[in-house]
Structures are given as structure tokens and as C-alpha cells.
Amino acid sequence: MVRSQLGFAVLAASTVLVFAILIAFVFLHTPTAQMAAGGLAQKIFYFHVPAAYGMYLSGLVCCIASAAYLLRESDTRNALAQAAAECAVVFGSMVMVSGPLWAKKAWGVYWAWEPRLTTSLLSVLVYLAVVMLRGFVGSGPAEKKFAAALGVLGTFNLPFIHFAVSWWGGNHPTVIGGGGGGLAHPAMRQALGLGFLAMTLLASVLIWSRTRLLRLSARVEHLEHRAAAAGVSEGE
């Protein structure tokens, strides 16, 4: 327990430190893009793209934990699947908020129904459905299995987000691969790398802490059921 708490404290402190370095590096050392790319607003890119990666990572964890739960039920696997789905919603919301802010400056509109934006919104809605299902439908075995199955199926949309521009076109920039031609300055690539590291650490902190909380809640629920079965009520 002590080692676990120490490890979490180190991870959390590292996350704060990396984010502080990222923010300072982006605004003090990264060059400003041309106005056609959004000018100063383009710096959102170093948080927007890593946030999308955070959604991919959380979705992958949700898929693996959900599939493992379907194979063999356990509170730990269920908690991990639920925590990862919630984190996917958090990171997806970051993407959905930061993207339009950049788009307004670069495209002149907050939203365009182009392939990558549409598929990204679809993924956020799928993981939100998983969270809503777990939170409001019930916590029985059937509900948990259905939520786990939805968590697995929802992950299959993630590759469509990544390849949407290559497959179907659209206005979305392709600065990373796909012939986009972005990130010419070394500081831009370094900032993006820091962004990926920061979001990876943040995803780890959020999933770890939320999973621990959900496991504790499950233990309390089991104890309450045992107490009720033994005829023990509150106040006795």
C-alpha cells in the first residue's frame, strides 16, 4: 500500500512538472505559425493533438479491460474499464473544445461536418454512452457486461478518426504524416513530443486514481451486501 501511494505521488508530481515545462516551452520557445494556420492560435495544436492521443490511449485501455472482463468477471477489470471510459470522455471533451477554438481562427468557423471531426464526436458520444449506462442503468452483472461490450465496440471507431483525412479528405490539417508538411521547426516537434508525454502521464494519473476509487466503492458495496445478508443494519 505504501509503495502504491508513493508511486502514485511520484506519477502525479511528474505530471504537474511536465505540464509546467510544456506550457513554458510552447509559449516561450515554439515559433508562431503563419496566419493561414491560425497564427498564435496554432499553439493549441500542442495540446489538441496530444489530447486526442489521450482519448485513443484511454479507449484502448477500456477495450482491453472490457474484453478481459467479458472473459472473466472481476471488480478490478470492471473498475479499470469504467475508469478508462470516463477518461476517454474527458480527453475527448478536451479535443472537442480545443479543436473549434483553433478552427475558428484558421477556418473562420467553429465547426464543419468534415470526416475527422465527425468521427471524433462519434467516439466521444460512444464513451459517454458507456459512462451513462454504468451510472444510471444499474450495476448488475448484465448491465456491466453490456457496458463492457459497448466499450469494446466503441474502440473500433478510433482508427477511422486517425485515417479519416486520408480516406475521405476534408479540411482537417494533416501536419503529422499524410503529406501535411507541418512541424518544420525543431521546437515544434519537441513541443509536440512533450505534449504526448504530458497527456500520457495525465491519462495514467486519472485512470489509476479513478480505478482505485471504483475498486474501493465495489468493496464497500460487497461489505454492505454481506452485512445485509447477515441481518446487520445501520446503527446496530
pLDDT tens column, 157-198 = 887 776 655 555 555 555 554 444 456 678 888 999 999 999
Residue with cell 477518461: 87
Could you tell me which residue, 108 or 47, shows the higher pLDDT? 47
Separation of alpha carbons 155 and 166, rounded Å? 19
User: Which residue did the predictor score with more confidence, 92 or 117?
Assistant: 92
> What is the tens place of the pLDDT at every residue in 55-88?
999 999 999 999 999 999 898 999 999 999 999 9
pLDDT in tens, 8-54: 899 999 999 999 999 999 988 888 766 545 567 778 889 999 999 99
State how far the Cα of 1 lies from the Cα of 9, in Å rounded to an integer.
12
Domain boundaries, the chain: 13-218
pLDDT at 168: 52
Query: At which residue does the C-alpha cell 465496440 appear?
Result: 153
**Number of neighbours of residue 203 by Cβ within 10 angstroms:** 25
Q: Which residue has the cell 479491460?
A: 65
Q: Kindly report the number of other CB atoms within 10 A of residue 8's CB atom.
A: 15
Measured from the Cβ of residue 126, the count of other Cβ atoms closer than 10 Å reads 22
Looking at residue 150, its amino acid is L
Q: Directed axis angle between helix 186-229 and helix 45-71, to 10°?
A: 30
- CA distances 135 to 53, 131, 214, 216, 235, Å, are 25, 6, 12, 16, 28
Amino acid at 65: A
Q: Does the pLDDT value for residue 225 go beyond 60? A: yes
Average pLDDT over residues 137-164: 80
